[in-house]
Amino acid sequence: MGHLDGKVAIVTGAGRGIGRGEALALAGEGARVVVNDLGGAWDGEGADRRPASAVAEEIARLGGAATANFDDVTDPDGAERLVSQALETFGRVDVLVNNAGILRDGMLFSIEPKDWAEVINMHLMGHFLPTRAVSRHWRAESKAGNTSHRAIINTTSESGLFGNAGQSNYDAAKMGIVSFTIAAARETAKYGVTVNAIAPRARTRLTTTTFENSNRAAEFATAENRFDAMDPDNIAPFVTFLATDAASDITAQTFIVCGGAVAHVKLPQVSDVLFKEGKWTVDELAGRRDELFKNLGPDVYEGPRGYARLPKQ
């Protein structure tokens, strides 16, 4: 007996890397899977039906049930066709994993607006449109009296949570996914839907490209240790857990997942507060500015200078 017997899952960007591992893990727990992948390059160019088809065939060889889908999830009609294919093929849908994404890195002063916008569109519209399509179906099902736990798992990034130079478009999109997750969770809770986000750290086409020739490149090299902490398949068990009834009371949360570690991310919250009666002056604020940072932890990302390091004078 699998944890997802009888259920149907959609995974976007499932032709390679993290998405492939998620599709296989969901199928391993009994879910029938719609394997979506447009099959483009890491920057979104082109299309290729082979990756999604190969994963669907692999699931079938392992004794599971899967169908390949090649729609563009940034297209409203494509997202609707994706959900319709799940319903027409398997009769229901219970889980949506939004994983598809691209990169087009560049510094603020040199990146082309088109490249900036297309990354935003891919990640945000690519999460919104499948979520919109599936939540409309679940809403109708709930109104008809058909209720059960339904799960959406979104994909954010540590780059979005903490910021990364050269990736302002990707970072803005990925932090936007965190806010989108919270809003979607609030809007769909009454229909039995949980919506959570994961920030995966793993070796994929996107990460190897990002950190190539950097001082972090070794993290993303092919692992030789017994346990490969950067194996993209390490992400799948937690995503699968969030899809099960064991996680039916977890929603609107964000988690970092890497190797054997799962970390719950505290969502934005108020830390220190300055207060006075009346309107502030600039001099008063300058004199009391350090009071805004009294409760800093040891984390490198905290502090008035944050993750960025100002150049020495």
Domain positions in the chain are 8-265
Of 53, 159, 168, 170, catalytic: 170
What does each C-alpha distance from 304 to 61, 125, 295 come to in angstroms?
A: 54, 33, 12
**Model's pTM, two decimal places?**
0.88
Residue 86 near residue 8 (C-beta atoms within 8 A): yes
Tokens 């447009």 belong to residue? 38
For β-strands 8-11 and 95-97, DSSP reports them as parallel
Q: Is 110 a catalytic residue?
A: no
Spatial distance between the Cα atoms of 37 and 52, rounded to a whole number of angstroms: 5
The pLDDT score that the predictor gives to residue 204 is 65
What does each C-alpha distance from 144 to 103, 139, 150 come to in angstroms?
A: 41, 9, 15
The residues, ordered by sequence, that sit 6+ positions from 79 with a Cβ below 8 Å of its Cβ are 71, 73, 129, 130, 132, 133
The pLDDT score that the predictor gives to residue 46 is 60
Residue environment code for 109-127, b if the CB has 16+ CB neighbours within 10 A, otherwise e: eebeeebbebbeebbbbbb
Of 135, 157, 159, 168, catalytic: 157
Q: Is 174 a catalytic residue?
A: yes
Q: How is residue 21 annotated by DSSP?
A: H
Residue 182: CB atoms within 10 A of its CB come to 18
Of 53, 135, 168, 174, catalytic: 174
Q: Going by CATH, does the domain composed of 8-265 fall within 3.40.50.720?
A: yes
Tens digit of pLDDT per residue, the chain (313 long)? 899 999 999 999 999 999 999 999 999 999 999 999 997 665 556 668 899 999 999 999 999 999 999 999 999 999 999 999 999 999 999 999 999 999 998 999 999 999 999 999 999 999 999 999 999 999 999 999 999 999 999 999 998 998 888 999 999 999 999 999 999 999 999 999 999 999 999 886 555 555 555 555 555 555 566 778 888 999 999 999 999 999 999 999 999 999 888 999 987 778 889 999 999 999 999 999 989 888 766 554 555 555 544 445 4
